[in-house]
Amino acid sequence: MPPRLTAFVFQIVSILSLFMLAQSCLKSDNPGLPTDVVDAIAQTGHNRVEITKTIGYFIDAEDSIYLKSAFFLIANMPHQYAVDYTIKNEKNQEINFEPEDFVSYDSLENWWSTQQANGHRLFYETKKFSLDKDTISAKLLISTINQAIASRSYPWSKAYTTTDFFLYILPYRFENEHIYDWRTSILNDFSWIADSVQKNAKAEEVIQLINDYVNTNFVFDKRYLRVANVQTYPEIMLSRRGNQSDLAHLKASIARSFGIPATIDYTPYLADSISGLFFAVAQDSRGKFIPMLPVNSIDLFKKNKIPKVYQRIFVQNEASLFAQKNLSLKTPPYIGHYHYLDVSSDYLTVEDIDFRNNTSDTLYYIGVHNDKKWRAVDWTISKDSLVSFRDMGKGINYQLLIMQNDSLVRVYTE
């Protein structure tokens, strides 16, 4: 079939699918598709059939939370995506390595430094974007919804509201990792968790159990700090080790699988270091997030190395740079790539940092020194020559930065 005819047929099938879906909604007890769901479906291409299949699967569910869950995930899907990163040198050659190729973290750092010293500057580059709306399957969505709702039957889940469920249990992703059905595997591999606590156990006990188990049975391995991509669940179960982001994803995934609201809090870059800080957080029975910290990370909060703490969220935050910027605008890692909340004041003694500059209405960043470069940890737009950043960690050397030619450069300030 000629390409143009194929595209035309696809458009006709998509229109018919939406029409049939709308008709089903009108006949159900919950008539009509929400506007944000219709808008999300309109943004999909060939994958539209997977989205409509998901709605159709739950359209006549006796409990409306099934259909509402489908609507929630679909409505928030257009801004969700996975990223593949690669490491390259200045000759645009990909550099591949496995952490286990090196006997120690020091040997890895020596190799890394040697590459830099020989004029082969190494840098991380985005290799591929995969939009959820174009790649997600109905099978994954249906499984996610069924298992997330089933997790509400655990006794400790009674402490949580429906809003808690939608925001921090139901979502199938945390950051920009590859999506897959981790709940099915986790419920099989960690079925003992539900059997290890009393029937009237509170969420705090389960959170502590998950945190202690992962800290005891999985190793924080500094060699993984140079790995750009988050390990998948099968990968970390095989390696039993990883960086802080890997371990945070594992803890938060287990918590969500057992009906506990969880996500990831993070510091993009630590001051005067080579990495950031990532850790899972989970809600206790009072609705307060409990940090599920990795071993030996507590002292970081006492050493004036943490400039900011953010919380990754699945829903849109209109105050974030990701919501406000033109998507084609190049922004530093972690700052404009997805939606998050600023939770710095929950962890740090904070202060406001002001700079004076002669340019107004310009996007500025504030940075810390990390891995021999100035790295952005927050953003703002200057007003009347004043560049202000709110709730910054105290006692840290900050520099004002701006993007020029896709690179961050320091700015002269008064």
Indicate whether 32 and 108 sit together in one domain. Answer: no
Q: Mark which of 48, 78, 108 sits at the end of a domain.
A: 78
pLDDT at 26: 37
Confidence tier at 107 by pLDDT (50, 70, 90):
very high
Q: Is residue 215 part of a domain?
A: no
Indicate whether 25 and 59 sit together in one domain. Answer: yes
What is the Cα–Cα distance from 198 to 281, expressed in whole angstroms?
22
Tokens of 327: 């998507």
Q: Is residue 42 part of a domain?
A: yes
Q: Is residue 270 part of a domain?
A: no
- Strands 262-267 and 363-370: what pairing? unpaired
- pLDDT one-digit tens code per residue, 267-295: 999 999 988 999 999 999 999 999 998 87
Indicate whether 88 and 11 sit together in one domain. Answer: no
Indicate whether 58 and 18 sit together in one domain. Answer: yes
pLDDT at 123: 81
Indicate whether 30 and 87 sit together in one domain. Answer: no
Q: Which residues contact 272 (CB under 8 A, 6 or more apart)?
A: 305, 368, 369, 370, 397
Q: Is residue 64 part of a domain?
A: yes
Indicate whether 115 and 71 sit together in one domain. Answer: no
53, 51, 50, 20: which is closest to 37 by C-alpha?
Answer: 51
Based on the structure, what is the number of domains in the chain?
A: 3
Indicate whether 111 and 71 sit together in one domain. Answer: no
Q: Which domain holds residue 101?
A: 82-128
What is the Cα–Cα distance from 266 to 321, expressed in whole angstroms?
17
Give the predicted TM-score (pTM) of the model: 0.89
Q: Which residues contact 152 (CB under 8 A, 6 or more apart)?
A: 160, 165, 169, 259
Confidence tier at 89 by pLDDT (50, 70, 90):
confident
User: In whole angstroms, how far apart are CA 382 and each of 84, 336, 355, 365?
Assistant: 33, 17, 9, 10
What does the angle CA 377 – CA 378 – CA 379 come to, to the nearest 5 degrees? 140
Report the chain's mean pLDDT, rounded to a whole number: 88
What is the Cα–Cα distance from 25 to 47, expressed in whole angstroms?
20
Q: How many residues does the chain have?
A: 414
